[in-house]
Amino acid sequence: MQTGEVFLKNLLERGVGVEQYSGKSILKKIAMGKIFYYEKKQTTVKREKIEDIEGEIARFTHAKEEAIIQLEQLYEKARAEVGETEAAVFEVHKMMIDDEDYTDSIYHIIRSQGMCAEYATAVTGDNFSSMFAAMDDEYMKARALDVKDITDRLVGILTGQQNDISELEEPVILVVDDLAPSETVQIDKSKLLGFVTRYGSSNSHTAILARTMNIPALMEVDIKKEWHGKAAVLDGYEGQILIEPDEETIVEAKKTLNEEQKREELLKQFKGQKTVTRDGRKIHLYANIGSVSDTAAALLNDAEGIGLFRSEFLYLESNDFPSEYEQYMAYKMVAENMAGKKVIIRTLDIGADKQVDYFQLDKEENPALGYRAIRICLTRKEIFKTQLRAILRASVHGEIAVMFPMIISVKELHMAKEIMREAEEELKKEGIAYRNIETGVMIETPAAVMISEELAKEVDFFSIGTNDLTQYTLAIDRQNPKLEAFYDAHHPAILEMIRITIENGHKGGAWVGICGELGADSELTETFFKMGVDELSVSPAFILPLRERIRSLSINE
């Protein structure tokens, strides 16, 4: 049981009657301390007519210049404190402030309606953020807050009423309606135990920053002004804030904090260390992610890249097919967050257990053996091509690679590559930049293992999906809880499949990684090394324990 679970279980068993409120947790961690309720100044924007149109335009232009200087300073501060990747949000804000559609709308309101610059900016900001907020895609929705942030900054400069949340006097749990990324980064981290907001989304940059800074936070909480100055426990495991906890609760929270600290300290020593065995054998240790915001956990745990980006989350979270632009933005964001480290995007893998209504897939007798993954992509080419175009477009923003799931034949691989070539041709014709990216296949079926030498000649890399490989090799539905006892991932047949795949991959000139759950199994790490695996991609939380394990191994002795 997790330490936080123990904490809450004990609390509940004692029937402690503390006031508690729920919210969306951003990080599984505990914070304990005094609440600081910050009431943001509501910048009042008057709908004022002006005479001197050109003077007003100049006033806006100055405010824009001032905002850009502030954002540059914030970028430098963030870069020094949380790193280049997280600082990138301020570069994005700088670009947004300079966005032609945004500024044109402001100029248009000033000129056509003769309104003051702050009014024109506030109206434009409202329109743009409502537009983002109305989008189905969670990632795009979260951009509404970025628009609000840049608009508040501009309006604050124009009216001389900027909020300043940066100076906290003692370590506190900050409670505030919303927290912009720029505000989050300005706060002295040694004074910020955690924060709780009324608004916000787990995909927002603020949430990403919180995770990266390892600060527990709750969003969408019914916060109260009366909490100011009261003691509280923020329970990130259960997504709750407990106000004025009794002594026993505090003792439990302290115990949990202690355990967390010990655990973190122990693993921290492996951050920044090479993933290398005692006798000098190196391996790439990458993270598996399922969303843009997961990159924070990958970075926090010092992943050397992303070995599996399960791109289907974009489809699962939407009510309709995500557009090329929406996908491009998501892939670009991950690539930029990873700042030059490899990002392997696995193309759409829906079907079987991952059903999406708007695909209108028929009900099947055997969904795991059915119409899924690459089979859908090759028969519904437009969906596939939209995704490939988005991936290619994002490739100029980082070190992106692509891999195809559930491949069972060279012919399928040829078809997938052909559609990719078509996507490249289209982009070339349209004058849209892209890079030649590494291409790989997932080895998830016995068929793929058996033809792996042929497949390897066609690709740059393999990534072994041991979850499905086990399912298809042992003929065991991975979704069926009754079969768990039979699902033996250490079965010699599986290990032999992995060995063959690595050997054949190398023969055919491809590097070989493992991205299924077995990759994180430390009992097999030595075996995988002996087989010659080049990369392991695991959930972010497993990276440091695995690096610890690898650094203790000596393969050739």
Residues near Mg ion (CB under 5 A) = 444, 465, 468
Structure tokens at 525: 């790490």
By rule CB under 6 A, what string of x and - marks binding of each residue 430-449 to ligand PEP? --------------x-----
> Residue 440's binding partner, choosing from ligand PEP, Mg ion, none, with beta-carbon cut-off 5 to 8 A by kind?
none
Gyration radius (Cα) of the chain, Å: 26
Q: CB under 6 A: which stretch of 199-207, 375-383, 408-416, 460-468 binds ligand PEP?
A: 460-468
The yes or no reply on residue 505 touching ligand PEP (CB under 6 A) is no
Nearer to Mg ion, 241 or 352 (CB): 352
> Token match 């020593």: residue?
269
Number of residues that bind ligand PEP (CB under 6 A): 10
Among candidates 387, 376, 448, 395, which has minimal Cα distance to 420? 387
Q: Which is nearer to ligand PEP, 137 or 468 (CB)?
A: 468
Dist CA 196 CA 174 (whole Å): 6
* Cβ proximity to Mg ion, 465 vs 505, nearer residue: 465
Q: Read off φ and ψ for residue 238, nearest 5 degrees.
A: -105, 0
The H-assigned helical ranges of 352-477 are 374-379, 381-394, 410-430, 446-450, 452-456, 466-474
Buried b (16+ CB within 10 A) or exposed e, 308-342: bbbbbbbbebbeebbebebbbbbbbbbbbbbbebb
For ligand PEP, which stretch binds (CB under 6 A), given 294-302, 464-472, 505-513, 526-534?
A: 464-472
**Closest among 419, 503, 496 to 456, alpha carbons compared:** 503
Quote the Cα angle for 283-528-499, to 5°: 120
Instruction: Give, as one character, the DSSP assignment of residue 396.
Output: G
Shortest Cβ distance from residue 475 to Mg ion (Å)? Answer: 16
Q: Does 524 bind ligand PEP (CB under 6 A)?
A: no
Q: Reduced to 3 DSSP states, what percent helix, strand and coil does the chain have, rounded to the nearest 5?
A: 50, 15, 30
Minimum CB distance to ligand PEP, residue 515 (Å): 5
Query: Out of 305, 398, 465, 540, which residue is the one contacting ligand PEP (CB under 6 A)?
Result: 465
Please provide residue 246's backbone torsions phi and psi, each rounded to the nearest 5 degrees.
-80, 180
Among 468, 521, 534, 535, the residue binding ligand PEP under the rule CB under 6 A is: 468
Closest contact distance (angstroms) between CB of 541 and ligand PEP is: 16
The single residue among 10, 162, 467, 522 that binds ligand PEP, judged by CB under 6 A, is: 467
Which residues in the 203-242 window bind ligand PEP by CB under 6 A?
none
Q: Which of 93, 116, 205, 284 is catalytic?
A: 205
Residues 293, 159: Cα–Cα separation, whole Å: 34
Residue 437 or 515: which CB sits closer to ligand PEP?
515
**Smaller CB separation from ligand PEP, 304 or 444:** 444
- Three-class secondary structure assignment of 345-357: EECCCCECCECCH
Cβ-based nearer residue to Mg ion, 351 or 465: 465
Longest CA pairwise span in the chain (Å) = 84
| The one among 59, 310, 342, 547 contacting ligand PEP by CB under 6 A | 310
Nearest distance in Å: CB 307, ligand PEP: 9
Residue 352 CB, nearest approach to Mg ion (Å): 9
* Closer of 7 and 313 to Mg ion (Cβ): 313
- Please say whether the beta carbons of 537 and 286 come within 8 A: yes
- The interface region with ligand PEP, picked from 117-125, 225-233, 388-396, 463-471 by CB under 6 A, is 463-471
CB of 287 to ligand PEP, least distance (A): 12
The label of the residue with tokens 């993954």 reads 373
93 carries an active-site annotation: no
Q: Which residues of 207-225 are buried (b: 16+ CB within 10 A; e: fewer)?
A: bbbbbbbebbbbbbbebee
- Is residue 515 involved in binding ligand PEP (CB under 6 A)? yes
Structure token pair of residue 390: 């988005």
- The encoded tokens of residue 478 equal 């991975």
CA distance 185 to 89: 10
- Indicate which single residue of 129, 197, 291, 466 sits in contact with ligand PEP (rule: CB under 6 A): 466
Binding mask 335-354 for ligand PEP (x = CB under 6 A): --------------x-----
Q: Report in angstroms how near the CB of residue 410 gets to ligand PEP at its nearest.
A: 20
In 263-275, which positions are buried (b, 16+ CB within 10 angstroms) versus exposed (e)? eeeebeebeeeeb
Q: Least CB distance from residue 185 to ligand PEP, whole Å?
A: 34
Q: Which of 93, 116, 284, 515 is catalytic?
A: 515
CB of 405 to ligand PEP, least distance (A): 7
Q: x/- binding map, residues 348-387, to ligand PEP, per CB under 6 A?
A: -x--------------------------------------
- 3-class secondary-structure state, position 176: strand
Q: Which one, of 236, 232, 260, lies nearest residue 244 by Cα? A: 232
Cβ–Cβ under 8 Å, residues 186 and 161? no
Q: Is 414 a catalytic residue?
A: no
Cα-to-chain-centroid distance, residue 492: 35
Residues in contact with ligand PEP by CB under 6 A are 308, 310, 349, 444, 465-468, 515-516
Report the catalytic residues. Answer: 205, 515
